Structure 1
Amino acid sequence: MTQITLAEASQHLSDLIDAALEGEEIIIIKDNQPVVKLTPVLPIKRCRQPGSAKGLITISDDFDEPLEDFRNYM
Structure 2
Amino acid sequence: MGKIAYIGIKGLPSQGGADRVVEAIVTGLDKTKYQPVVYCSNQIVPPGATLPDIQLIRIITLPGKYFHATSLF
TM-score, length-normalised on structure 1? 0.32
Higher helix share: 1
Q: Report the structure number with the largest CA radius of gyration.
A: 1
Higher strand share: 2
TM-score, length-normalised on structure 2? 0.32
Higher-RCO chain (CA-CA 8 Å, sequence separation at least 6): 2
